[in-house]
Amino acid sequence: MAQVSRITLPLMLRLPAEFHLQMLGHCLHGLPDEACGLLAGDPVTGDVTAIYRTRNVADSARYYTVDPREHLRADRDAESHGSSIIGVFHSHTHTDAYPSPTDVSQAPDPSWHYVLVSLRDTHPVVRSYRIAEGRIMEESVVLKPHELTPS
């Protein structure tokens, strides 16, 4: 698909720490199957402003499919908050946090961030990529600390 020029933007995903934890929790809760979800935010800066933990309707340890109706609800919710869906995360239960051939061949949008959570080892590993025209480019994941409310 088109819009490959978007990947010339800085390769960075800026993820609030609480979303990072929610993502890991969702992936661990999904075991033994793969888990998945969507990320909303700013497509230019890569700032994530919302996370949607979705059902894996493939019900599989080797494949995931984001529940289409939850995708629609997430898309509308993001739009209502002035943002958009900018990426997807999913777990690999027994392999590295690296896009598989299946991930690459089915990547829906070259402007999206593709976050992989590996649960192979004791400690989960989180990495993020851009995938365009079959090419895989890793990007930085910057964890943003919790914002303290002024007293």
Partner 1 sequence: MPVDVRLPTVLRSQAGGQASVPVDGNTIGDVLRTLVGEHPGLKGQVLTNDGALHKFVNVYVNDDDVRYLQSLDTPVKDGDEISILPAVAGGMGATAEG
Which positions lie near partner 1, rule CB under 8 A? 1-3, 34, 36, 38, 43, 58, 60, 62-66, 68-69, 71-72, 75, 84-85, 88, 90, 92-95, 99-103, 106-111
User: CB of residue 130 vs partner 1: minimum separation in angstroms?
Assistant: 13
**Which of 104/143 has CB closer to partner 1?**
104
β-pairing verdict for 48-54 and 84-92: unpaired
User: CB of residue 50 vs partner 1: minimum separation in angstroms?
Assistant: 16
Nearest Cα residue to 139 out of 38, 5, 15: 15
**Which of 50/143 has CB closer to partner 1?**
50
Q: How crowded is residue 75: how many other Cβ atoms within 10 Å of its Cβ?
A: 15
User: CB of residue 146 vs partner 1: minimum separation in angstroms?
Assistant: 28
Q: How crowded is residue 132: how many other Cβ atoms within 10 Å of its Cβ?
A: 20
Largest CA distance in the chain: 50
